[in-house]
A = this chain, B = another copy of it.
């Protein structure tokens, strides 16, 4: 037994001394406020080379403490050059992952409490606020009541869509195997389109679905890369005829490549005929559906089994925050619940509480509801709609700029705040490959550090994706971005013309 005096004297530090926390916390807030003030000055895409950081940091952790001031100095000089600035107003790549003061403050509070809300009892507010905000959000989206707790379903905040898809897939799988027997796992088939996010294929792999039974149904430019219900039905029929068991369909509202919207009403009709679980992935575009004018894109969701969107993309809530709603929580719970002795408690045994550990892969879980609650309250539904509309308006404006320049074309209709465009073949002189010149344009623009855009390939065509949604982006940045694109495209086209002339000489 240790002596109490020794233990008191030798205790070396209090890493949570409130006044020192206060002092350092204020320093960090100032650091971040200054960062937002100057984020635009940094190259948007980091310009470092692979391995840069290993060359300038020590090989081992320090033995002695270092001051916050020293560490922040290193953040400024060593980390920030290696950051690709997702919060820059000139970030137009991938999909946005936008932040807000409210989102950050909610996350700070969650971090500060640092409760682990696996069971209701482990922090009742964490569970109950999650129930409340997912119901609030569901109502904002006009989800059918069957997705809300108040209607027998319910929402949960997971990390990412990958988790949401994996959890619902496993729920669907087990529901099916309970009926057909565990030995039939090799017969289960998953459906999606060739535009569905790669998360679907990965989830199927993780869940033990035979890779041969993964159907990424081909889409076409003529139908704007939507999943065709007839093709889905043909695929299902073919599988059924071959003794396979149709299991799960992932439909998308706002695909990653082009924000295409799959026709939910007719897809769910087909799926229901064959008792296929339908998940609707609206990771990015779902946020827009809080505006009445975009709600149509969710029509048909009432026939789906589960629905998810990422509040951390286009909803001012910091990474990570994937909202998943299901109609039948018991399907999730049957697959994902564990009940070890060390977690048993009276509240859970009454069955009057939700234990979110049984709705997700992970046992430990952060108090994510706080940040979404802060966002919803700090901005309110009215301003959140205007915020979404602001980005859509900027995208419309950008689309107009593209259309006005005869060297470019918009490749697919713009539905939300992303424009897919390219230098069009007719603007390209000589033998230059149209995909190659657009690839060069992307790289040239990104290397400049002035804006960051990303790409995709749609029906064999290399396309530049211009996704608007960073919080600090405004219409002037969008105008400037277009000038950057035009300048780089101009230089490339002139180069190509010169090269073509050279080639013709010989």
The verdict on A506 contacting chain B, using a C-beta distance below 8 Å, is: no
Are the CB atoms of B113 and A111 closer together than 8 Å? no
Give the residues in chain B near A361, CB-CB below 8 Å: 162-163, 166, 202, 206, 361
Within 8 A of B (CB), among A186-209: 186, 197-199, 201-202, 205-209
Complex-state Cα separation, A403 to B123, whole angstroms: 32
Binds B, one of A77-85, A235-243, A263-271, A484-492: A77-85
A156 to chain B, nearest CB (A): 15
Question: A50 touching B353 by the CB < 8 A rule?
Answer: yes
A432 part of interface (Cβ distance < 8 Å): no
Q: Which of B20, B101, B202 contacts A16 (CB 8 A)?
A: B101
CA distance A206 to B20 in the complex (A): 44
Cross-chain contact B474 with A11 (CB below 8 angstroms): yes
Return the CB mask of A390-429 against B: 1 if under 8 Å, else 0: 1001101101110100000000000000000000000000
Question: Contact between B12 and A387 (Cβ–Cβ < 8 Å)?
Answer: yes
Q: Which residues of chain B are within 8 angstroms of A86 by Cβ–Cβ distance?
A: 113-116, 123
Q: A33-B22, A60-B136, A62-B377 are in contact. Are A124 and B50 (CB under 8 A)?
A: yes
A78-119 interface with B by 8 A CB criterion: 78-87, 94, 97-102, 104-105, 107-109, 111-116
Interface centre among A70, A82, A112, A457 (most CB of B within 10 A): A112
Of A246-254, A273-281, A292-300, A311-319, the one touching chain B: A311-319
Partner of A397, one of B1, B129, B363, B370: B1
CB distance from A462 to the nearest CB of B (A): 9
- The one of B54, B206, B472 that contacts A170, using a Cβ cutoff of 8 Å: B206
CA distance A68 to B63 in the complex (A): 41
Q: Which residues of B contact A161 (CB under 8 A)?
A: 363
Given contacts A1-B396, A97-B115, 6 further A-B pairs with CB under 8 A are A14-B472, A32-B112, A64-B380, A83-B123, A159-B159, A342-B465
Q: Does A450 contact B (CB under 8 A)?
A: no
Contacts of A50 in B (CB 8 A): 120, 124, 347, 350, 352-353
* 23 contacting pairs across A/B (C-beta < 8 A): A1-B399, A2-B396, A7-B397, A10-B386, A10-B390, A12-B387, A13-B386, A18-B37, A21-B29, A21-B36, A32-B109, A50-B350, A53-B128, A83-B115, A83-B125, A85-B113, A85-B115, A86-B115, A86-B116, A107-B111, A170-B206, A206-B361, A208-B208
Contacts of A14 in B (CB 8 A): 471-472
Is A210 part of the binding interface, using a Cβ–Cβ cutoff of 8 Å?
yes
The stretch from A221-229, A323-331, A332-340, A495-503 touching chain B is A332-340
Task: Check A383/B336 contact, CB under 8 A, given A51-B128, A109-B28.
Answer: no
Q: In the complex, are the beta carbons of A387 and B13 less than 8 A apart? A: yes
- A383 smallest CB distance to B (angstroms): 5
The 7 A-B residue pairs with the shortest CB-CB distance, nearest first, are A208-B208, A1-B400, A82-B125, A25-B29, A15-B100, A22-B33, A53-B128
User: Given A7-B390, A11-B474, do A320 and B2 touch, yes or no (CB 8 Å)?
Assistant: no
Query: Quick one: which of A51, A54, A94, A115 has the most chain B CB within 10 A?
Result: A115
Q: Which residue of B lies closest to A442 (CB)?
A: B345
Instruction: Give per-residue flags for A28-53: 1 if the beta carbon is below 8 A from chain B beta carbons, else 0.
Output: 11111111110000000110101111
Chain A count of residues within 8 A CB distance of the other chain: 184
Which B residues are in CB contact (< 8 Å) with A68? 102, 105, 378
A105 to B124, CA, bound (A): 26
Q: Do residues A114 and B131 form an inter-chain contact, with CB atoms below 8 A? A: no
**Other-chain residue from B30, B394, B455 in contact with A342 (beta carbon distance below 8 A):** B455
Nearest chain-B residue to A8 (Cβ)? B475
Q: A307: CB under 8 A from chain B?
A: no
| List of B residues within 8 angstroms of A436 by Cβ | none
What is the distance, in angstroms, from A218's C-beta to the closest C-beta of chain B? 15
The distance in angstroms between the C-alpha atoms of A387 and B65, with both chains bound, is 13
| A2: chain B residues within 8 A (beta carbon) | 393-394, 396-397, 400
Instruction: List which A438-477 residues lie within 8 A (CB) of chain B.
Output: 443, 454-457, 465, 471-472, 474-476
Q: Would you give the shortest CB distance from A311 to chain B, in whole angstroms?
A: 12
Q: In chain B, what residue has the closest Cβ to A335?
A: B205
Contact partner of A140 (CB less than 8 A), chosen from B61, B121, B185, is B61
Q: A24: which B residues are within 8 A, CB to CB?
A: 101, 105
**Which residues in B have their C-beta under 8 angstroms from that of A54?**
128, 131-132
